[in-house]
A = this chain, B = another copy of it.
Amino acid sequence: MIEDKNQSRTALEKLGEFGLIKHLTKGFELTQESTLKGIGDDAAILDFKNQKTVVSTDLLIEGVHFHLSYMPLKHLGYKSVIVNLSDIYAMNAIATQITVSLAVSNRFPLEALEEFYEGVRAACKMYGVDLIGGDTTSSTTGMLISITALGVGQEKKLVYRSGAKENDLLVVSGDLGGAYLGLQVLEREKEVFKVNPQNQPDLEPYSYIVERQLKPEARKDIVELLEKLEVSPTAMIDISDGLSSEILHLCEQSNVGCNLYEDKIPLDPTVISASEEFKIDSSMIALSGGEDYELLFTIDQKEFPKIKGNPNLTVLGHMTDKNEGAHLISRNGSKIPITAQGWNSF
């Protein structure tokens, strides 16, 4: 039997725009009580009753925010959703709906978009979020993704970046630096592959950090944990651009300073070993790496007993008077001003 290698490639123009949206979004179930009307009209209709509506949006561009050479489309779909949900959780709110808009050049067959939407669907299912709208169109070059996430929260429970007070403890969820190092591993393997396409990379020793890069999770569980522990953060932000950049946001918007202790920064053993391999300082990675999507927040010192010893949370330091500035207290005790080394796409 002669194999038709093109059998699973369907050109996008065959479906047209409406057909494409219909095709890609079929099989998405609506599970939120607040979704009155999803895809299929001029707009979606939501009912948040007496709760507040939380809205966040992000734009992801091929070649700038992601590279399809090492980012499988399903992972990309998943991660694009996660990045947005993370912003909703960073308000101490619960994400409920998303819209997903996609532009692709016609070098993408339908099957590629199906893969992308499989990832979107997996994220929607994992986080209990409804896909309620979007736009699908052609681009002149690569792929770009725009997602808007909506969520709900009670007004008095929502947490802004601006509420941190002097002496509040600075707390972070999970561990840091993995996503950045995972990217370094993938980029190295890509270079090796260019030279020798027969070479099968062994990513097994790096599986944790590669997964942190390719399939990050948003910390809905931390929002639920804080609720359960009856901890009310005074300020919160998600770590998308690196710890130092996010700390500076909290300090600036809360009008406080900060002492961050280097020896407290939570690092996974894989991050430590890969840092050594790449000859980069692991603290530097955690401070500037970005894309970990952990939650960084401040709490009143009185709340400390509630989080003490919790394996998901680490106290990194404390907030100070604004005039003291934001500093890293290094392992040898020296005080180094924190500067934003975060990611800048321009």
* CB <8 Å contact, B65 and A54: no
Interface residue A148 (Cβ < 8 Å from any Cβ of B) = yes
A308-346 near B? 1/0 per residue, CB < 8 Å: 000000000000000000000000000000000001111
In the complex, whether A155 has a CB less than 8 A from a CB of chain B is yes
Contact A44 B64 (CB under 8 A): no
- 1/0 contact trace for A120-153 toward B, CB 8 Å? 0000000000001111011111101010111101
Q: Give the distance in Å from the alpha carbon of A86 to the alpha carbon of B43 in the complex.
A: 10
Question: A79 CA to B91 CA in the complex, in Å?
Answer: 32
Contact-residue size bin, chain A (C-beta under 8 Å from the other chain): 35 or more
Q: Are B52 and A45 in contact, with the CB atoms below 8 A?
A: yes
Instruction: For chain A, residues 29 to 71, give those with C-beta under 8 angstroms from any C-beta of chain B.
Output: 36-37, 40-50, 52-59, 61-65
With a 10 A CB-CB cut-off, give which of A53, A63, A237 has the most chain B CB atoms. A53
Contacts of A294 in B (CB 8 A): none
Contact of A140 among B44, B53, B62, B99 (CB under 8 A): B62
Q: Is residue A88 contacting chain B, with contact meaning CB distance below 8 A?
A: yes
Is A87 interfacial (CB-CB < 8 Å)? yes
* B346, A133: Cβ atoms closer than 8 Å: no
On chain B, the residues within 8 Å of A61 by CB distance are 103, 137-140
Quick check: A155 and B43 within 8 Å, CB to CB? no
Structural contact, A43 and B12, CB atoms closer than 8 A: no
A97, CB-defined interface residue at 8 Å = yes
Q: How many copies does the complex hold?
A: 2
Chain-B contact segment, one of A13-21, A168-176, A207-215: A13-21
Contacts of A86 in B (CB 8 A): 42
Asked whether any CB of chain B lies closer than 8 Å to the CB of A299, the reply is no
CA distance A161 to B44 in the complex (A): 12
Residue ID in chain B nearest A54 by CB atoms:
B43
Looking at the assembled complex, report how far the CB atom of A33 sits from the nearest CB atom of chain B, in whole angstroms.
13
Complex partner residue of A138 from B13, B47, B142, B345, CB under 8 angstroms: B345
Closest-CB distance, A99 to chain B (whole angstroms):
4
B50, B133, B343: the one within 8 Å of A55 (CB): B133
A146 to chain B: closest CB distance in Å?
4
Residues of B within 8 A of A346 (CB): 12-13, 15-17, 20, 106, 138
User: Within the complex, which residue of B43, B50, B55, B144 is in contact with A103, where a contact is CB–CB below 8 Å?
Assistant: B144
CA distance A42 to B90 in the complex (A): 6
Flag if A155 contacts B53 (CB, 8 Å): no
Bound-state CA distance A332–B135 (Å) is: 39
State whether A148 touches B41 (Cβ < 8 A).
Answer: no
A93 proximal to B (CB < 8 A): yes
Which residues of A pack against B, CB within 8 Å? 12-13, 15-17, 20, 36-37, 40-50, 52-59, 61-65, 86-88, 90-91, 93, 97, 99, 101-103, 106, 132-135, 137-142, 144, 146, 148-151, 153, 155, 158, 160-162, 236-238, 253, 343-346
